[in-house]
Structure 1
Amino acid sequence: MDKNIDISYGSDYKYIPATSIGSGIGIEVLPDLFCFTIQIVNICLVGYPHTRDFVLVDAGMPESANEIISITEDRFGKNSRPKAIILTHGHFDHVGAIIELVKYWNIPVFAHEKELPFLTGKMSYSKPDPTVEGGLIAKISPFFPNEPINLGNSIEILPKDGTVPFMKGYRWIHTPGHSPGHVSLFKDEDLSLIAGDAFVTVKQDSLYKVLIQEQELNGPPRYFTTDWKSAWESVKRLEELNPSVAVTGHGSPMSGERLSRSLKKLVNEFDKIAIPDYGKYV
């Protein structure tokens, strides 16, 4: 029996007509790290081009599977498929195409064990907060899909030893706050960081700044973040790694002195920069 037969999205799964000027643009951050923007969110392809040894990190917006398959084949060759999909977390904009991709490629998905209830149909995330201090995207967040998807037997727990399957040299770091099982991925050799939504490089709750993709280091998207104390601790943990380059779930990659300066400022002023003045999770 096909193990993918019972996997499904939640009943509120739908296309979200939100986009940015970065949509459809790919950036080779490093020779083996490629970032691609789908509407308002980034996916990463990790591995050297035209090899069969690569993974996909996160799975984009709803109804983006064909686009993800196309850019994967552009980079790695026709009929290529990743060894696995690694999820930083399970919010709708990071798992939007995952059912189609798992069925098409027949590959496993890995996530932190605390994220599994949201990926096996057992539990919904806390509802996004439209009352939180922020812009228009925060206000429309109740329309975003929030019911759990069910990946059935296709989902596996990230190894307890911190290694990342099929991502040699990378380790996963538990960075909760934005979600209970959120992880970031770090490679000690070149200090590259895939941060997910632990912090982002655009003010994600502002529709205008999302549209124009004005680069600005910020905390996790406010409307979905429920534990601000943990979110602050997570950013501190990542800043201590002194990353040379960071790819975030939203916004363009940031590197060098600007990244280290901005991260230090975010850590020191997280309560002013990231934590909203009001909202039901503050």
Structure 2
Amino acid sequence: MEWYQLPLGPLQTNCYILSKENGKCLIFDPGEESEKLSNIIQQKSLQPVAIILTHAHFDHIGAVDDIREEYEIPVYIHEKEADWLIDPALNGSGRYEMIENISGKPADFFIRNEQEMTIGEFTFQIYETPGHSPGSISIYFKEGDLVVAGDALFNGSIGRTDLPGGNHDLLLNSIHQKLLTLPEETTVLSGHGPATTIGQEMDSNPFLNGF
């Protein structure tokens, strides 16, 4: 399995593409710049099969409808943020004057609990990792030794918890109970900034010391 990191939009939110050798791919958090994302998909001769959202803050969802319609693929999100795609007040786009309100279509499928899921040729584990937002999830691929962690865990940092629905203690618990229990060699694909590993964050992340 290969993965590609595409920082998109003014906040440089990481969109990820995970692909198989046959070109089938999953798209995570297409935040903006749908044309740029589509160009990469075409250049690499990829065939998207689904969009999966780690959560629905505005900087992670801006290109969802464009990509969904272009490739005719479904969108998956946790049920606790089922209304966020259609409500600017919930996804945060309505709180900033410089941000265009994002009010799109509902997701096609809702994730309701932790589970192993299979979409096409991809099998992965869903972990609920709330704290940054109520419906934040992390998606673990044992086959590729990687986890798409959204804005839960960053290289040397953790997600902010001062937005509506955020909870600092809950986020720390999510990280320790769900993410730091993964193998230390697991690559962490974060919503912003460079990739890291579980082992690196266990050893050096200042926000996790003393928890």
Looking at structure 2, the residues matched to 127 and 150 of structure 1 have their Cα atoms a distance apart, in angstroms, of: 12
- One-letter identity of the residue aligned with 2:182: L
1:180 aligned to which of 134, 145, 150? 134
- One-letter identity of the residue aligned with 2:54: T
Asked if the contact 2:129/2:171 (under 8 Å) is kept, the reply is yes
For residue 144 of structure 1, report the CA deviation from its aligned partner.
Answer: 5.9
Return 5+ residue gaps in structure 1 as ranges: 1-30, 129-140, 202-216, 271-282
- Show the counterpart of 2:80: 114
- One-letter identity of the residue aligned with 1:38: L
SS class of match (2:84) = helix
Looking at structure 1, the residues matched to 48 and 195 of structure 2 have their Cα atoms a distance apart, in angstroms, of: 22
For residue 146 of structure 1, report the CA deviation from its aligned partner.
Answer: 8.5
Looking at structure 2, the residues matched to 166 and 243 of structure 1 have their Cα atoms a distance apart, in angstroms, of: 28
Judging by fraction of residues, say which structure has more strand: 2
1:243/1:35 Cα in 2 relative to 1: closer, same or farther (>3 Å)? farther
Across the aligned residues of Structure 1 and Structure 2, the Cα RMSD in angstroms comes to 2.8
Asked if the contact 1:46/1:54 (under 8 Å) is kept, the reply is yes
- Show the counterpart of 2:14: 42
1:253/1:233 Cα in 2 relative to 1: closer, same or farther (>3 Å)? same
Looking at structure 2, the residues matched to 158 and 149 of structure 1 have their Cα atoms a distance apart, in angstroms, of: 20
Query: Are positions 1:155 and 2:127 aligned together?
Result: no
Kindly provide the CA deviation profile for residues 20-77 of structure 1, in whole angstroms up to 9, marking residues without a partner as x.
Answer: xxxxxxxxxxx4222222241111111125x24211011123xx010000111122x1
- Show the counterpart of 2:209: 268
Q: Mapping of 1:68-217 within 5 angstroms?
A: 68-75=37-44, 77=45, 80-121=46-87, 124-125=90-91, 142-143=96-97, 145=99, 149-152=103-106, 154-158=107-111, 160=113, 161-166=115-120, 168-201=122-155, 217=156
- Show the counterpart of 2:179: 238
How high is the sequence identity, in percent, across the aligned residues?
Answer: 23
Judging by fraction of residues, say which structure has more helix: 1
Kindly provide the CA deviation profile for residues 206-227 of structure 1, in whole angstroms up to 9, marking residues without a partner as x.
Answer: xxxxxxxxxxx11103553621
- Show the counterpart of 2:157: 218
Looking at structure 1, the residues matched to 141 and 111 of structure 2 have their Cα atoms a distance apart, in angstroms, of: 16
1:159/1:125 Cα in 2 relative to 1: closer, same or farther (>3 Å)? closer
Kindly provide the CA deviation profile for residues 139-169 of structure 1, in whole angstroms up to 9, marking residues without a partner as x.
Answer: xx844649663323x5211364332534623
170-179 or 112-121, larger mean C-alpha shift: 112-121
For residue 261 of structure 1, report the CA deviation from its aligned partner.
Answer: 1.4
SS class of match (1:66) = helix
Looking at structure 1, the residues matched to 13 and 168 of structure 2 have their Cα atoms a distance apart, in angstroms, of: 22
Return 5+ residue gaps in structure 2 as ranges: none
Looking at structure 2, the residues matched to 159 and 69 of structure 1 have their Cα atoms a distance apart, in angstroms, of: 29
